[in-house]
Amino acid sequence: MNISEAAKLSGLSVKTVRYYADIKMVEPARNIQSGYRSYTNDDVAKLNFIGKARRFNFSIEECRELLSLYQDENRSSKEVKKLTLAKIASIDEKLKEFHSLRDELSHLVNCCNGDDRPSCPILDELSK
Amino acid sequence: MNISEAAKLSGLSVKTVRYYADIKMVEPARNIQSGYRSYTNDDVAKLNFIGKARRFNFSIEECRELLSLYQDENRSSKEVKKLTLAKIASIDEKLKEFHSLRDELSHLVNCCNGDDRPSCPILDELSK
DNA sequence: CTTTACATTCCAGTCACTGGAGACTTTATA
DNA sequence: TATAAAGTCTCCAGTGACTGGAATGTAAAG
Burial of B116 (0-12, 13-18, 19+ CB in 10 A): exposed
Is there a single domain that holds both residue A81 and residue A126?
A: yes
Kindly give the residue spans of alpha helices, DSSP state H, lying in chain A. Answer: 3-10, 14-22, 41-55, 60-70, 77-111, 121-126
**Contact assessment for residue A26 and residue A43, using Cβ atoms and an 8 Å cutoff:** yes
Is there a single domain that holds both residue B44 and residue B88?
A: no
Average pLDDT, chain B: 93
* Partner-chain contact B123 A87, CB within 8 Å: no
Is there a single domain that holds both residue B91 and residue B61?
A: no
Nearest CA in chain A to B121: A77
Is there a single domain that holds both residue A18 and residue A46?
A: yes
Task: Please report which confidence band the pLDDT of residue A73 belongs to, taking 50, 70 and 90 as the band edges.
Answer: confident
Other beta carbons within 10 angstroms of residue A12's beta carbon come to 21
The whole-angstrom distance between A6's CA and the closest CA on chain B is 15
Is there a single domain that holds both residue A80 and residue A123?
A: yes
B54-90: pLDDT as tens digits: 999 999 999 999 999 999 989 999 999 999 999 999 9
Residue ending a domain, among B75, B94, B112, is B75
pLDDT for A26: 96
Is there a single domain that holds both residue A84 and residue A53?
A: no
pLDDT surpasses 90 at A10: yes
Give the domain extent around A19. Answer: 1-75
pLDDT for B21: 96
Is there a single domain that holds both residue A80 and residue A67?
A: no
Which chain C positions come under 7 Å from a protein C-beta? 6-9, 15-19, 25-26
pLDDT surpasses 90 at A128: no
**Contact assessment for residue B50 and residue B23, using Cβ atoms and an 8 Å cutoff:** no
B19 beta carbon < 7 A from strand D?
A: yes
A75-91: pLDDT as tens digits: 999 999 999 999 999 99
Task: Please report which confidence band the pLDDT of residue B111 belongs to, taking 50, 70 and 90 as the band edges.
Answer: very high
A98-113: pLDDT as tens digits: 998 999 999 999 999 9
Q: What is the mean pLDDT of residues B116-121?
A: 91
Q: Give the CATH number for residue B6.
A: 1.10.1660.10
pLDDT for B25: 95
Is there a single domain that holds both residue B12 and residue B62?
A: yes
Residue at the smallest CA–C1' distance to nucleotide C17: A16
Is there a single domain that holds both residue B100 and residue B46?
A: no
Is there a single domain that holds both residue B70 and residue B114?
A: no
pLDDT for A92: 92
Residue ending a domain, among A59, A75, A91, is A75
Q: What is the mean pLDDT of residues B16-42?
A: 96
Is there a single domain that holds both residue B68 and residue B85?
A: no
pLDDT for B49: 94
pLDDT surpasses 90 at B20: yes
- How many domains does chain B fold into? 2
Looking at per-residue pLDDT, the higher value among B114 and B8 belongs to B8
**Contact assessment for residue B3 and residue B17, using Cβ atoms and an 8 Å cutoff:** yes
Residue ending a domain, among B75, B96, B116, is B75
Q: CA angle, B43 as apex, A116 and A105 as ends, to 5°?
A: 45
5-34 on A, CB < 7 Å from strand D: 5, 14, 18
pLDDT surpasses 90 at B1: yes
Is there a single domain that holds both residue A81 and residue A69?
A: no
